[in-house]
Amino acid sequence: MHNLEKLGWKKEYDVLEDNVARVISVQKNSYRISDGDLEYLAHLSGKFLNESNSPLDFPSVGDWVEVQKLPEENKAVIKRVLPRRSQFVRQAAGNRTEAQIVAANIDIVFIVNSLNHDLNLRRIERYMILAYESGATPIILLTKRDQSTIDEIEDAIASVSEVAIGVPIIPISSLNGEGIEELLGYLSDGKTAALLGSSGVGKSTLINSLLGQEVQETKDIREDDSKGRHTTTHREMFMMPNGSMLIDTPGMREIQLWDGGTAIETTFQDIELLEKDCRFSDCRHTTEPGCRVQEALSTGELSEERFQSYLKLQKELAYEERKQNLKAKMEEKNKWKKISKQQKENYKYRV
């Protein structure tokens, strides 16, 4: 097996394999990359910096990059980011309309919930939209099954399956290993998986058990950067004994909805189906006659909570979209302002 394949390389790009590496962590002005054999400290090439004008152009964890390895030991220059199969986008801190890539090329998103806390179905819906939005496949994990009875586990699976339509649901225990075999079944041949879930549901414990060793302690290393300041750097991508990659980046836990039009349709496919049967194609599902959604709500076929959650997420996305449009408009306006100012200047010199 070529070393790159260990990192999930699928040979889908027209780049010499010797010049390919995967980003395993992003630091302030540098990147840690790996070619499956060695790790390198990498910087962006001048050409790259000149030609990139959006934060989305820059490498993130999980990206495949074309590099030039330097004769200097374990150093490299990143020349370009290879096309992404999937990407997790979030709004940059402080600038809510600026997008930023949190992780790329993720095949599977594990949505992690604990069986011994109240299952938050609304949060599962939100995470499902995020997963679909990114282009990855969601899988639901119900952790700490060693602390639950069979009845509790079955009840939980039943209620989760109503909101996670067609999504695998796996009850697991990181303590006694139950369900881990089934989980690994989804992670064959160099797949890359990421974890989404609230604090305390057992993500770190699961990672440790999947990696078969304690990695948490080695996660946070303080390093001096060139300016003598301390920056906390940490590993964000781990290779499992079976060759799959696991991404656990803090950024994953803060992502908001961004652009989930079709993701919402997939997540709420039951409601989308009902809507098709409303008498009016522009039905708003309030007081219209022949509203299939209202009918399903009255018979209990569709729960009021799920419908409200659907409306709320739709509203949130519409708000994001308006904001992004407004930003685009402002930028356009500023561009024209500049151009017309320039024209006035030109005119001044002509007379």
Ligand X SMILES: Nc1nc2c(ncn2[C@@H]2O[C@H](COP(=O)(O)OP(=O)(O)OP(=O)(O)O)[C@@H](O)[C@H]2O)c(=O)[nH]1
Which residues form the interface with ligand X (CB under 6 A)? 143-144, 146-147, 173-175, 197, 199-205
Cβ pair 164, 80 in contact under 8 A? no
Q: Which is nearer to Zn ion, 74 or 298 (CB)?
A: 298
Which residues lie closer than 8 Å to 250 by C-beta, 6 or more apart?
Answer: none
Q: Which is nearer to ligand X, 22 or 203 (CB)?
A: 203
Please tell me the distance from the alpha carbon of residue 166 to that of residue 169, in angstroms, as a whole number.
9
Structure tokens, 157: 């699976």
Instruction: Kindly state the smallest distance separating residue 150's Cβ from ligand X, in Å.
Output: 16
Give least dist CB 175 to ligand X, A.
Answer: 4
How many whole angstroms separate alpha carbon 230 and alpha carbon 222? Answer: 7
Closer by beta carbon to ligand X, 117 or else 323: 117
Residue 136 engages Zn ion in binding (rule: CB under 5 A) = no
Annotated binding-site positions: 143-146, 197-205, 278, 283, 285, 291
User: From the list ligand X, Zn ion, none, which binds 180 (C-beta under 5 to 8 Å, kind-based)?
Assistant: none
Q: Interface with Zn ion includes 271 (CB under 5 A)?
A: no
Would you state the structure tokens that stand for residue 212, as one six-digit string?
């078969």
Q: In sequence order, which ranges of 196-303 are alpha helices (DSSP H)?
A: 203-211, 261-267, 269-276, 292-299
Q: Is 63 helix (H, G, I), strand (E, B) or coil?
A: coil
Q: Cβ closer to ligand X: 204 or 314?
A: 204
Q: Pick from 103, 109, 141, 291 the residue near Zn ion by CB under 5 A.
A: 291
What is the distance between the alpha carbons of residues 316 and 91, in angstroms, rounded to a whole number? Answer: 14
Q: How far is the CB of 204 from ligand X (least distance, A)?
A: 3
Task: State the minimum distance, in angstroms, from the CB of residue 220 to ligand X.
Answer: 12
Binding residue ranges for Zn(2+): 278, 283, 285, 291
Nearer to Zn ion (CB atom), residue 134 or residue 294: 294
**269-276 and 304-350 are packed helices; what angle lies between their axes, rounded to 10 degrees?**
90
Per DSSP, helices labelled H in 46-200 are 46-51, 121-134, 150-163, 180-184
Enumerate the known binding-site residues for GTP. 143-146, 197-205
Question: Which range in 225-233, 237-245, 276-284, 343-351 contacts Zn ion by CB under 5 A?
Answer: 276-284
Which listed option, ligand X, Zn ion, none, makes contact with residue 205 (CB within 5 to 8 Å by class)? ligand X
Residue 291 interacting partner from ligand X, Zn ion, none (CB closer than 5 to 8 Å by kind)? Zn ion
Other residues' Cβ atoms within 10 Å of the Cβ of residue 167: 18
Nearest CB to ligand X, comparing residues 21 and 193: 193
Taken in order 273, 276, 278, 283, the sign of the CA dihedral is: positive
283 binds Zn ion (CB under 5 A): yes
**Is residue 89 at the binding interface for Zn ion, with CB under 5 A as the rule?**
no
Residue type, 55: P
CA dihedral of 326, 96, 204, 206, whole degrees rounded to 10:
0
Contacting residues toward Zn ion, per CB under 5 A: 278, 283, 285, 291, 293
